Amino acid sequence: MINIAQSSSTRPYLVRALHEWCTDNGFTPYVAVSVDDSVQVPREYVSNGEIVLNISFDATSNLHLSNEFIVFKARFGGVAREISVPMGRVIAIYAKENGQGMAFPAPVETDATTDTKPPTDAEPTPTPPSGGTRPQLKRVK
C-alpha cells in the first residue's frame, strides 16, 4: 500500500484537467509560473519573479503536459522560444476569459548556500497577492 508521502503530486493532473476543460469550452488556458533558475522562459517577460503563459494549442507548438514539466515552443515578439516549466513552479491555471481555474501553493524556496529544506510536516507559508493585473481566480464546480 502506498502512503501519502510516496504518492505523486496532484498538480500535474489538475493542470491537465483544467487545460482540457478550458479547451473543451473554448477558453484560453493560462498558467502563472513562479520563475527560478529551473524555469526556461524569456526572462524579459518575467515580472516580480512570475510569468503568465498562454498554453492554448493556438499559441503553442508541440505542447506536452507531463507529470514533471510543461514543455512547448512559442513565439515571443515574433521570436520562437523553447519553454520548459517544472510542474512544481506552476502557481495557477485559469481561463483568460473568465478567470475560472485553480491556484496552487507557491513553491517553497530553499537557501542555495545551505541547501536547507523545510521539515516535511511544515505547511508552506502562503504569499500575499501582488498588485499585478492577473484576473481573480474562481473555484470551478
Give how many domains the chain has, as a whole number: 1
Range of the domain at 67: 7-103
Q: Cβ contacts of residue 60 below 8 Å, gap of 6+?
A: 54, 72, 73, 74, 83
Is 66 within the bounds of a domain?
yes
d(CA 49, CA 29) in angstroms, rounded, equals 20
Quote the DSSP letter at residue 112.
T
Q: Is 120 helix (H, G, I), strand (E, B) or coil?
A: coil
Cα-flanking dihedrals φ and ψ of residue 49, to 5°?
A: 75, 10
Is 48 within the bounds of a domain?
yes
What's the residue count for the chain?
A: 141
Give the DSSP letter string of 65-87: E-SSEEEEEEEETTEEEEEEEEG
Kindly report the CATH number assigned to the domain that includes residue 31.
2.30.30.220
The pTM score is 0.73
d(CA 66, CA 69) in angstroms, rounded, equals 5
pLDDT tens over the chain, length 141 residues: 556 566 778 999 999 999 999 999 999 999 999 999 999 999 999 999 999 999 999 999 999 999 999 999 999 999 999 999 999 999 999 999 999 999 999 887 765 433 433 344 444 444 444 444 555 555 555
Is 141 within the bounds of a domain?
no
First to last CA, the chain: 31
Is 108 within the bounds of a domain?
no
